[in-house]
Structure 1
C-alpha cells in the first residue's frame, strides 16, 4: 500500500494517525477504535523500560507511544539507568524466566534492587494516571511507590512457558505488588495473586522497516550493503542472542548448500541492555565462510529490503516471547521457517502460512523445499501477509490497550 492524501506528511514524520489504517482494517474498525480513544483522551500514562534501542520492547513501544499520543492520550516513555553489572544480572533474570537453571546470588539481588531503588528516586512517576513497566529490569520499581493512587501494570514480553522456579518465586513478590500482569500469550499464564491480561504484539506497517519498497529501492539498498543477489537469499534477522540459535541456522545452511546453491545473510544488532550479545556475535564470526554474510548495521531499510528479497526468512528461536521479526517478514509476503516455540507458534500455521521446525535437519529440509518450489513460496507468502493484516497490525494493539485501560480508573479521566 502506498500512502497518499493529506496524512502523507504525518506518516513521514512518524506520527501514523489511525486514519492511515482505514484501507487495511476498514471504516467500521477505524471508527470503533477512535470512539474508544475519545473516551480516554486526556489520560496521561507512562511506559518504563530499560532501553530505547534494540529488541522487541523497543519495536513495540516506539510506534505505540506515538500512536497513543496521536489519538489524544498523553503517553510518555522513561528509561531506567544501570551499570554493566546490573545489566549482567538482569540478563540472568531474562534467561531464567525462559527456563535456564542459573543462580541469582544474594549479591546479584542486592545490586538489582539497589539500582532500581536509585532509579525510583529520579523517575517521578506519581504524576501519571497509569504506569506500565516492561520486563524484569525495572520490575521492583513498584515497591518504592507504596501510596500510589494510579494503576501500575507489569508487562512481560518473555517466553514464560517454563520459568526457573526459584527465580520466578523471587520475582513474583514484586509482580504481585502490581495491579495486573500483562503477558503475550495465554500459555504464559502463571499462578499469581493479581489479574493477568494477554496482549499480543503488533507491527507498524508504515514504518521505514515495513513500508512498501520499489524493486529499484530494494536493489540499491542491497548493493549499498554489498549483499550479493546472484543466488537465492536465506536470511535471519534478530539480535545476536543464543536463544535465536544463530549457530543452528549456520549448521542448517551448510546442509542446504549440499543440495541448493544459496547465500545466508545474518543481520543483527545488540540491545544496549544485553551484555551477552557481543559474545554470541564473536562465536558466529568464528563459524562463517565466504557464503555466510554477517551484518551488524542498524538500518531499517536494509531489513525491509532483505525481507522482501529473501527466498526464505528464518527465525530459528529456541525460546521466543513473540517474534516481531516473524510478523514483519510475513507482512511482506515472505515465507518464514520458524522455531516451533512461543509466539512463533502463535503466528505460523505449519504448512499454511509458513513452516514450524524443531531441529536443524527439519530446518534444512524446509529451506530446500521452499527454494525448489516457487509456487509454494507464493501461496504461503500471500497467506502470511493476510494473517498479519487480520491479527497483528498496530491498530489492533492500540485497541487492546484501550480496552485494558478502560477497566482501570485513571483518576476519573476515563
Structure 2
C-alpha cells in the first residue's frame, strides 16, 4: 500500500520513510482513542495503523470504553476546550476520572511508545508504568474553558511530549516538549479522490444546488467567537 503514495510524494520520500521505520522496528507502539469509527481520529488511525504495520512496525490500536454519561462528559469537555463558553457541572470531573481508572485496569498499556489521542483518554497517563507517552491533540486549544483546561492540564503535563496541529493550538502553560504536525489529507481516501465534473454536477443537483453558481465550502466546524 505504501507504494501507492509514490505518485503523490515521489520515490525519495517513500524511501526515507522506509529507512526511518527500520530504526523503530524493535519498539512496541500503541495508539489509544475513543472510537473505532466516526470522527477524524478514527479515520486517521484506520489508514495510518495499517501503513505502519506494512513498514514492519509493531503497532496496536485500542479504544477506550464508557457509558453514555461518560461520553456526554467528554463531549462537553471537547466543546468547552474549543470555545470556552460551556457550562460544566462539577461532578463531570469525577465521572471522567472514574472511567480513566476503569479503562486503565482493562487495557494493556505496557508498550514502549504510547500515543494518546485527544482529551477523552488523556487521563490514562496517570496509570503509566513505563514507556514514552505522547499526547496527540487534534482540537483547537487556543481559547479553552479555563477550569476544564486546568483539570486536563494536570494530566497532559505528565506526558513526555504533546503534538499539536499549528502554533496557535499549542500551549504556553505546558512545560513538556511540544511538536507541530500540520493537518494533512490522505489522497487515497475516497473523500479526497478527484471525481469527474459529471459526478459533481449529479451530486449538487441532487441537493437542489445550482452548479452554475459559486459554492462556498466550510471545512471546519462553526464555533462561537
Global fold match (TM > 0.5): yes
Matched, 1:121 2:105: yes
Deviation at 1:176, TM superposition (A): 0.8
Matched, 1:232 2:214: no
TM-score (norm 2): 0.88
Structure 1 26/168 Cα, relative in aligned 2: closer, same or farther at 3 Å? same
| Number of corresponding residues | 224
CA distance in 1: counterparts of 2:52 and 2:66, whole angstroms: 28
The residue that corresponds to 2:144 in the other structure is 163
Matched, 1:182 2:163: yes
Matched, 1:204 2:108: no
Of 16, 20, 27, the match for 1:43: 27
TM-score (norm 1): 0.50
The residue that corresponds to 1:407 in the other structure is none
Unaligned runs of 5+ in 1: 1-15, 234-259, 263-310, 320-340, 342-357, 359-414
The residue that corresponds to 2:75 in the other structure is 91
Unaligned runs of 5+ in 2: none
Of 97, 100, 106, the match for 2:90: 106
Structure 1 33/232 Cα, relative in aligned 2: closer, same or farther at 3 Å? same
Matched, 1:65 2:49: yes
SS in 1 for 2:23: helix
Structure 1 316/157 Cα, relative in aligned 2: closer, same or farther at 3 Å? closer
Of 126, 130, 149, the match for 1:143: 126
SS in 2 for 1:313: coil
The residue that corresponds to 1:236 in the other structure is none
Tell me, yes or no, if the aligned pair for 1:60 and 1:201 is still in contact at 8 Å: no
Structure 1 182/230 Cα, relative in aligned 2: closer, same or farther at 3 Å? closer
Deviation at 1:212, TM superposition (A): 3.9
Structure 1 140/228 Cα, relative in aligned 2: closer, same or farther at 3 Å? closer
Structure with higher Rg: it is 1
CA distance in 2: counterparts of 1:110 and 1:20, whole angstroms: 47
Structure 1 315/209 Cα, relative in aligned 2: closer, same or farther at 3 Å? closer
Deviation at 1:158, TM superposition (A): 0.8
CA distance in 2: counterparts of 1:316 and 1:95, whole angstroms: 14
CA distance in 1: counterparts of 2:138 and 2:79, whole angstroms: 12
What is the CA deviation profile of residues 23-44 of structure 1, one whole-angstrom value per residue up to 9, with x for unaligned ones?
2212222222221112122422
Structure 1 316/55 Cα, relative in aligned 2: closer, same or farther at 3 Å? closer
Tell me, yes or no, if the aligned pair for 1:42 and 1:72 is still in contact at 8 Å: no
CA distance in 1: counterparts of 2:208 and 2:107, whole angstroms: 48
Structure 1 220/69 Cα, relative in aligned 2: closer, same or farther at 3 Å? farther
Q: Report 1:14-413 matches (<5 A).
A: 16-17=1-2, 19-126=3-110, 128-145=111-128, 148-190=129-171, 191-214=173-196, 218=199, 222=203, 227=206, 231-232=210-211, 311-315=215-219, 317-319=221-223
